[in-house]
Structure formats: C-alpha cells, structure tokens
Amino acid sequence: MGTKTNTNTPIKLKNPEIQVNPVYLSSKSQPKFTDTPEKGKFATAYPKEYQSDTARDTYIRWILLIVAWVIRFYRLAEPSAVVFDEYHFGTFVDNILSGATYFDIHPPLGKLTLALFGWIVGYRPDPDFGYDEIGKDYNGVLYYPLREVAAVFGVITVPLMYSTARMLGLSWVGALVCAGLFCFDNLNIIESRLILMDSQITFYLVLSLYCAFKLWKTSPRTWSRFFWLTATGFTCGCSISVKWTALATPGLIAIVSFFAPHFLDDPLTLLECAWAAFVGLGWYVFLFYVHFKNMTRTGPGVGFFQSDFRSTLVGENTYDPNAERQPFHKLFLYLNKYMFTANAGITTRHHWESYWYQWIVNWRGLLYFNKEIDGKWGSVYLHCNPVVCLTCAACVAIFILVRLMSVRYRNTKIFKSETRMLLQNALRSGTFLFWGWLINLLPYILVDRSAFVYHYLPGLIYAQLLSGLIVDQAPLVVRVLMMVLIMAASIAAFVQFVPWIYCFPLSSTEHSDLRWYGRWD
C-alpha cells in the first residue's frame, strides 16, 4: 500500500509489440495520435511499425521524390501548344510581368508565383504571341519555365503527403499508400504539368495539414507552439490566396483548434487563434497590396476597376501622373466583393462540366487538348486514375459503414482494451478526414454552377489520407499485401493512360479503347 510506484514504467500487455504508458491513460482526453509514440504527449498504444524510423522514412521520401519528378517532368514540353486554361493563366502571367491591369475571379498568389519563378528560370512575355486560342502553337515562345514551376509544386507534394500521413499517426505502410495514390493519380499529374494553379493549391493544403498536425502536438507557451502556430496560419493563408476553393481546409483546422474535438486536450487560447488568423489574413491582404502595386499601366482588365484607380494607369485615357491612387483598403474591399460577385454569377453551362457524384466514381473527365499530329490525334484528357478514384471511394464507403456500426455497438466489448484504443483513435482521425472530404464537396453539392473534375482535387487529398488510414487497420502482413496490390494496380492504370497524360498520338480506334466509361467522350 505504501510502496511508491513509477508511473512512467510501461505496462506490459499480452501483445508484445504493444506497450502503453499509464500516464497517458489517466489523461482526461481520449486516445490521441503521434508520429513518435515513445516520446509524444498523446501516445497510447502503437505497434512498432507505427513508430518513426528516421532512416527508413528518409529513404521512402527520396524515392517518392525521384519517382514524382520523373513522372511530372517527362515530356513536360508536350503538347507544345496552349492547353485549356493555359489560355487564361498564361495571359495573366504576361500581364503581371508587363505591369498591365487585369481581372481574375481568384486571388493573386498563384499567378504571382508563376510570374516570379517563371521569370527567374527564363520566361519572358513575347509581344508577338498571345494566349488567345486553345490549341495555338507556341512557335518558339519559351513557355516551358512556367510549366516547370507548376511541376515542382506537384513533385514536392508527393513526399510531403507521406510526411503528413506519418504526422497523422499512420504507419509507414499506410503513409506509403497515401503518397502512392497521390503520386500516380492522373488528375494530379496532369494539373501539375501545365500552366495552372492546382498544383499550388494541393501543395499548400497538404502543407497546412502537416503544420496543423505539428501544432496540435506542441505544448502550450513554448517556442515550438509559436512557430507551428505561425506556420499553420501562414500556409492556410497561402492556400486561400491561390483560390477560394481551398477554404475548407483552413476552416476545418480552425474548428479543431478552437473547439478541440480531436487531437488536442484543450483548445488553443483565443490569443493563439487570433494570432494564426492575423498571420493568414494579413498575408492574404499583403498579396493584394503587391498585386495593386504591380499594376502600373492599362490592360485588358481595366474596365473592372474604379475611375480613381484607372486614372493612375499609364496608357489610360484618364491617366494623370499627379493623381493619387485610390486608398488601399477601399480598393481591396471593392475588388474582393467584385470577385465574389463574379464567382457567384457564373451560370454559363459548359460542354465538359461534371457533377460532384461523377468525380467520386470517375464517371466524367475533361478534354484539355486534342490536335491532329501526323495523321493521328494527340490528346490530353483530364480524369482521375480509375484505381485511385475507386480505391478512395471504397475506403470512404467503408469508413461510413464502420463509423455507423461503431455508434450502434459503442458499448459492446468485443475487443481487448489496447485494440479498442487504437480503433477509437482511428475512428476519430478518420472522422476528421471524412469531414475534410465532405466539406470540400459541399459547395458543389449545394450550388448549381458549372464545375469540372479538377474541383475534386482538395477533397481527394482527404480521401487518399483516409484510404491509408483504412489500410492501416489491417494486420501488418495483410497491410503490406494491400499496399502492394493497390500500388501495383495504380501504376498499371497510370501506364494504361500514359498517352492521355503525355499527349502521345493515337489513332481514333486506340483512343476509343482507352474510354472505360461512356461519358469519357
């Protein structure tokens, strides 16, 4: 009775691969996650394969980086013509580099990034060339650097996806499933090979999740907490500064941080939440300041701006060199309101539009490019890798079923205590990922407007992470087997559709043979 016990001594369980520290079991919180269970604040019970192995993880990240680089940079110059929305974003980059005024319904970070790094690696606007027609040959224009910028973002997101999954608490096997699904997904590959914004969005969203998972593990009132709090606010600000469609992830991170439904014992303080919001929104506002400062002469978007601003633009009829520019806060509020109105006012239907339920099962794609080449047809057809898409859909369905059953049989003691803790942790993490998937789809479920398959990219990130989590619940041998099968099938499907990624010319019959669905027209 009077013997002093060491509460930090691990309890030996029946399963020799699992150990539990009783200090964590006495916490008021439910079981939480950690990438290094032996050191983490929220460790509960983890098999050895979940524990961080620095050397192994480093090797895997390098392999993923190399594979992603090869896939995304191979034949990056093809097709050597304007592909779909390069029509818009190439024009925006030229306007930025020439100081011309333009209007876009999206915030400026993605376009500023393309312009800045494109200029650094050699891109210059060609006064004799305009992005005025889809399919127009570049004819000597150095467009390649702009595609390189998009490709770099796509490449580094692959190992980052692995790190984020590990930070979520997945084993190296489950994390490899997540990264592999992302790496070999045709949707992500094509979007990161063109002068588009979506590779930047996916990078910032995955980085936001990584920073948030790190933040939620830190102790209050430490420099580590302050660093990851600032990093999380900044990366969330970056994501919404590319496109507003990225808003779901910052919103979900804010909810978890403010209410602490999972991953945290206690919510972040109001001061911490305010600081993160200040950093993110402050960066968003600052980018518009850069945007306005760069616009010094008239351009194609001048009609969208007020007269006070137009009078300061060189080349404008009302130009006055002594005119004072409109106050920044008024210009900022005016433009953001106009952007919102323009977004909401998109009612025009499009031949290649698709619906959210079609994205989940890969029912409908989008023809980005189609041109006759030496008697055959070179095409870039945007669609999800069928194996990736159906794996994610199946895992989302499995999670919904398991979650419903866990609620119905919540009082049933069919598992041992340590197994039950692991399952509870998986269910809670899975719930977070499921909501991330669903919230990203909600705008397209609730609002009837033209949307395209690439709008599924933010939600697909969560589905891929959830797939890795589902695989992680199997015994190690089965888990490895599932990983091998999923990766082998994903790679095989990727190889099958290589012609539609890299624009290899095919005959009409060969193109028809690649159409797995009738709506892949």
Residue 146 lies in a domain: yes
- Which long-range CB contacts under 8 A does 306-313 form with residues at least 24 apart? 306/331, 306/334, 313/101
Tally of domains in the chain:
1
pLDDT at 48: 58
Q: How far is CA 413 from CA 11, 31, 297, 363, 418, in A?
A: 21, 17, 71, 41, 12
Q: Considering the domain boundaries, does residue 5 fall inside one?
A: no
Residue 317 is classified by DSSP as: T
23 domain residue, yes or no: yes
Residues 6+ away with beta carbon under 8 Å from 390:
361, 362
Residue 267 lies in a domain: yes
229, part of any domain: yes
- Six-digit token string for 477: 């041998």
510 assigned to some structural domain: yes
pLDDT at 288: 97
User: Which tokens hold the place of 485?
Assistant: 């099968």
Q: How far is CA 340 from CA 92, 172, 239, 244, 343, in A?
A: 19, 42, 17, 9, 5
One pLDDT digit (tens) per residue for the chain, 521 residues: 444 444 344 434 444 333 333 322 333 333 343 434 333 333 334 555 666 667 899 999 999 999 999 999 999 999 999 999 999 999 999 999 999 999 999 999 999 999 999 999 889 999 889 898 999 999 888 999 999 999 999 999 999 999 999 999 999 999 999 999 999 999 999 999 999 999 999 999 999 999 999 999 999 999 999 999 999 999 999 999 999 999 999 999 999 999 988 888 899 999 999 999 999 999 999 999 999 999 999 999 999 999 999 999 999 888 988 888 889 999 999 999 999 998 887 778 888 888 999 999 999 999 999 998 888 999 999 999 999 999 999 999 999 998 888 877 766 666 555 566 667 788 889 999 999 999 999 999 988 888 899 999 999 999 999 999 999 998 899 999 999 999 999 999 999 999 999 999 999 999 898 988 877 87
Residue type, position 269, single letter: T
Q: Can you read off the two tokens belonging to residue 336?
A: 């953001």
- Dihedral angle sign, alpha carbons of residues 91, 97, 99, 105: positive
Residue 380 bridge partners (DSSP): 369
φ, ψ at 297 (rounded to 5°): -140, 165
pLDDT, position 50: 62
Asked if the structure places residue 330 within a domain, the reply is: no
Residue with tokens 């190992």: 159
pLDDT of residue 411: 66
The whole-model pTM stands at 0.88
Per the structure, the complete domain to which residue 233 belongs is given by 13-295+358-514
